[in-house]
Amino acid sequence: MQYPDPETCEQCSRIVFLEQQARQAYERMRTVIEYTTSGVILLDAEARILYANRYVCETTGYASHELVNHNWFEFTHPKETRFRRMLLDKTLERPRQLRDRGYLRFKSKAGIWILLSIRVLNLLDDPNIGAIIAYVSDESAQMSRYTGNNNG
């Protein structure tokens, strides 16, 4: 029986160790994003939803699979068409530049309009992300204060 030389064993052990570290780092970051206290949505260049974290799902009432592969605009208020198109166009024009905060109404699964604060960052050209990141937070309480209800 022939055994591998010690140098080969050491290299294999090092590769296994590095793969375990990479896997742990990935799981750590995935968990941080999943459990953060603000929404993270990944969009493609046509505003199709690629990912929505737990905050987004809890805020809107949708399960992740009910959002993924749908266009973001399907859920936003029709009166905001011009603004949301402008936001997407400007985001596409300016890669790697965090866009100023805006507000959009998003229809929850229960049919109630939720006011979302949104900031977007175009990382379509980043091979590690390949998406537009939308950072969102629920500002519905603020909308209720001004309108007296939550039905937009």
**What is the extent of the structural domain holding 28?**
1-35
pLDDT digits (tens, 9 = 90+) for 83-132: 778 878 888 888 898 877 788 889 999 999 999 888 999 999 999 899 99
pLDDT digits (tens, 9 = 90+) for 49-69: 999 999 999 999 999 999 999
Q: Which run of H or of E encompasses 83?
A: helix 81-93
| Whether residue 28 sits in one domain with residue 70 | no
Q: Give dist(CA 94, CA 121) in Å, integer.
A: 9
Q: Which run of H or of E encompasses 106?
A: strand 102-107
User: What's the predicted TM-score (pTM) here?
Assistant: 0.74
Check which CATH number belongs to the domain holding 125 and give it: 3.30.450.20
pLDDT digits (tens, 9 = 90+) for 70-79: 999 899 888 8
Rg, the chain, Cα only: 21
- Across 31-45, 77-91, 135-149, least confident range: 135-149
